[in-house]
Amino acid sequence: MDTGGTFTDFIAADGSRQVSFKIQSTPRAPEEAILRGILRILDELGPAGGGSEDRVRIEIVHGTTVATNALIERKGARTALVTTAGFEDVIEIGRQARPDLYNLSVTRPDPLVPSVLRFGLKERIAAEGDVVERLGVVDLEALVRRLRLARVESVAVSLLFSFANPEHEQMVAAALEPLNIPISVSHRILPEYREYERTSTVVINAYLAPLVSRYLSRLTAGLRELIPSGGKHSSTGLLVMQSSGGAVSSEVAAREPVRTILSGPAGGVVAATRIASMAGLDEIITFDMGGTSTDVALCRGETHTTNEAQITGLPVAVPVLDIHTVGAGGGSIAWVDDGGALRVGPESAGADPGPACYGKGDRPTVTDANLVLGRFAGAGLLSGEMTLDQDRAAAAIDRLAESMSASSSKKVSREKAALGVIDVANANMERALRLVSVERGHDPRLFSLVSFGGAGGLHAAALAEALRVPRVLIPSYPGAFSALGVLLSDVIKDYSRTVMLAVDHGGPVPSLISGLFSELETQAVADLQAEGFDQKEKIGRNSIRTLRSLAMRYRGQSYELDIPLNGDGSGFVRDFHRAHRERYGHADPMRQVEIVSLRLRGIGITGKPAIDSVRTLRRHKAVSNSRAAAWLGESKSKVTVYQRSALKPGAQLDVPAIVVEYGSTSLIPKGWSCGVDRWRNLILDRLGAAKV
């Protein structure tokens, strides 16, 4: 399941049987919607043809926005920071980079820990790991008293150079145990250099830990009531999706919630790379438009992670999928600013009250604009389970049109206002797509756009047209696609260690590096075995894989490139030069290269649901018994309406067309062709697109 701002999505598989549906989210208590959905799944996917004595094992994986929303809304715990004396203000000083270079009044986001809750300890570890000033027991006792008086709910511990020698951090963690509150320690969460990023990451983890821990405890308790031990169902426990594209046990997620900040969007990227690869598309741009936000990512054959992410202006240095998010979704509210300009988002109507057409709200949103323009073809949402209030949406757009008319010399009609909302929303999303493609040196004409999310299909073709992307893929279950990705994910654990080692221009990996990697692999295998996975040598489900990589740079640079380490490791310096040339346009093979950190990914291979296809694809014309009128531009047009469930592999659609289905609606305008491939994906090809 994947909890979104408007809907909670479910997809369940039991052999060849699958079920997918949406339930409106319950933002104040997200577990309520989840438990209702699990109950529905138990009813719909009971034992197939078995007696009451059959025992069914249930595996549950969850994509969550609890950590994301708490960080965005600043609703985390009262957190203290314990650091080396003299470095208490690192999280406030930050970096010299300004978010808005020419704004003289620019302000940074307030630190999550105020100055009165930052505590410095007299201790010092040298860069090489030697103890320069030993930490005293008396200072630790005084620290515990001060934290008790401050009534803090969580503590972040980040001492100088603890990645080189964690002895003092271990002493602090042991001394704070009697407080019985979450303790986040940097050498466990991020044993890497860069004091600001490391401290920020650990502070975020501590800030979120109590909230996420309570949420997962409530959810786990609710699941136990639904799936009691000894009943006809048995559960293997709850897994939570991480930002890195892999799942982890709920116990680990509760201790390290910083790894779940992009939990939901990560699932969509995982599913997109898998489905696109099956369809023969390796270079893709993912486009996930939901009710609250739009998430985009560029993938070349596999997902790409980064250690340089920022969430609400705060650095998060644990591995996350390289996803860019903008506040543009179906629930994004349209408004006119003081200068008379039309704006859309980032504020969203969310699930409560939701867009005006949901029957509660009265503010105009992107969904209301699409409804007014006839782009739902009168079908409502969720295959008729959720009707849309056309009159309420029209009234909301009319009020927006009046505001637009008041700020201009012309009267703006309802349809003009709705088209304006769509144009502004598309412009916001187009900027996000350009950021991950054009602005990073990638030509969008060489990529395919994989569109999903409840609202994605209505905007995908227009965005692809703007970026000159030649092909769009809209998968099956687009409305629950992130939930599918969560279901397809493996269990992943990431490990790292800073080494700061200069290397020769050629030859194998230094023996020191090999030894440290072996230590990390031993830890990874042990951790994955503790979660039920088998020996590393076994192949297939429940087996363990490890992937090595090096964070490398030219000596004197400030940032690194992640270089995969294969086989005996020979040629890794050459691979770095090649990657540097590809990323930055130049390389210097004669310059000294430095290994900054070792990174290891431990993967526990999980069982995957089957995704069926047809062997022989027979082209045929799709049949539709319905037509509708919709605004596709400045005028109203007749469009053919198709039911997605009736489209078989090989079907060719007449355009312009609207394809309606349970969790999403797709718009195929003029200038595009559309067919159904062997995997039941909708494949849109732009007519006349030049081959690059």
Domain co-membership, 163 together with 76: yes
Residue 520 has which token pair? 């990390």
For the CA atoms of 120, 123, 125, 131, the dihedral, rounded to the nearest 10 degrees, stands at -170
| DSSP structure string for 297-351 | EEEESS--EES-EEETTEEE-S-EE--EEES-STTEEEEE-TTS-EEEEEEE-TT
At residue 50, the pLDDT reads 44
pLDDT tens, residue by residue, 252-311: 999 999 999 988 889 999 999 999 999 999 999 999 998 888 999 999 988 888 888 888
* Domain annotation covers residue 481: no
Confirm whether 513 is domain-assigned: yes
Q: Are residues 196 and 60 in the same domain?
A: yes
Confidence (pLDDT) at 395:
96
Last residue in a domain, options 604, 638, 670: 604
CATH code for position 521: 3.30.1490
Residue 327: per-residue pLDDT: 83
Q: Cα separation of 609 and 612, whole Å?
A: 10
Q: Strand pairing of 682-686 and 672-676? A: antiparallel
Residues 6+ apart with CB under 8 A from 196: 90, 91, 93, 94, 95, 315
Q: Is residue 614 part of a domain?
A: no
Last residue of a domain, one of 261, 290, 310: 261
User: How would you label 55-85 residue by residue, b for 16+ Cβ within 10 Å and e otherwise?
Assistant: ebebebbbbbbbbbbbbeeeebbebbbbbbe
Q: Identify the domain containing residue 420 by its residue range.
A: 332-426
Torsion angle, CA of 652/375/633/398, rounded to 10 degrees?
180
Residue 91 in contact with residue 113, Cβ under 8 Å?
Answer: yes
Shared domain for 212 and 79, answered yes or no, is yes
Once rounded to an integer, what is the mean pLDDT over residues 65-81? 89
What is the C-alpha separation between 155 and 146, in angstroms, rounded? 12
How far, CA to CA in Å, does 201 sit from each of 70, 310, 563? 15, 10, 23
- Please give the Cα distance from 267 to 286 (Å, whole number): 11
Q: What is the pLDDT of residues 138-169, one digit of tens each?
A: 999 999 999 999 999 999 999 999 999 999 99
Residues in a beta bridge with 234: 57
336 found inside a domain: yes
In a shared domain, residues 237 and 346: no
Do 160 and 253 lie in one domain? The reply is yes
Alpha carbon distance 687, 464 (integer Å): 12
Banded model confidence at residue 51, pLDDT cuts 50, 70, 90: very low
pLDDT single digits (tens) 652-680:
999 999 999 988 999 999 999 999 999 99
| pLDDT above 80 for 610 | no
**Residue 507 confidence (pLDDT) above 80:** no
Is the pLDDT confidence value at 49 over 50?
no
Q: What is the pLDDT of residues 527-561, one digit of tens each?
A: 998 888 876 655 566 789 999 999 999 998 988 99
In this structure, are 256 and 175 located in the same domain? yes
Q: Are 181 and 155 in contact (CB under 8 A)?
A: yes
**Is residue 497 situated within a structural domain?**
yes
pLDDT of the residue at 232: 61
Q: Take residue 259 and report the two structure tokens written for it.
A: 């790894």
What does the pLDDT read at residue 506? 62
* Residues 171 and 247 both lie in one domain: yes
- In this structure, what token pair is assigned to residue 140? 């630790």
Worst-scoring range by mean pLDDT, 76-90, 250-264, 371-385? 371-385
**What pTM was computed for the model?**
0.88
pLDDT confidence band for 213 (50 / 70 / 90): very high
Q: What is the mean pLDDT of the chain?
A: 89
Q: Are residues 232 and 364 in the same domain?
A: no
Domain shared by 518 and 410, yes or no: no
Q: Are residues 415 and 514 in the same domain?
A: no
The total domain count for the chain is 3
Q: How large is the average pLDDT for residues 430-452? A: 93
State whether 417 and 547 are in the same domain. no
- The verdict on residue 126 lying in a domain is yes
Q: What's the rounded Cα separation, in Å, for the pair 533 and 606?
A: 9
pLDDT above 70 as % of the chain: 95
Is 1 contained in some domain?
Answer: no
Question: Which residue, 426, 461, 480, sits at the end of a domain?
Answer: 426
**Same domain for 404 and 497?**
no
Predicted local distance difference test score (pLDDT) of residue 691 = 65
Whether the pLDDT of residue 410 is over 70: the answer is: yes
Q: Is residue 187 part of a domain?
A: yes
From 359, 429, 295, 283, select the one nearest 5 (Cα to Cα): 295
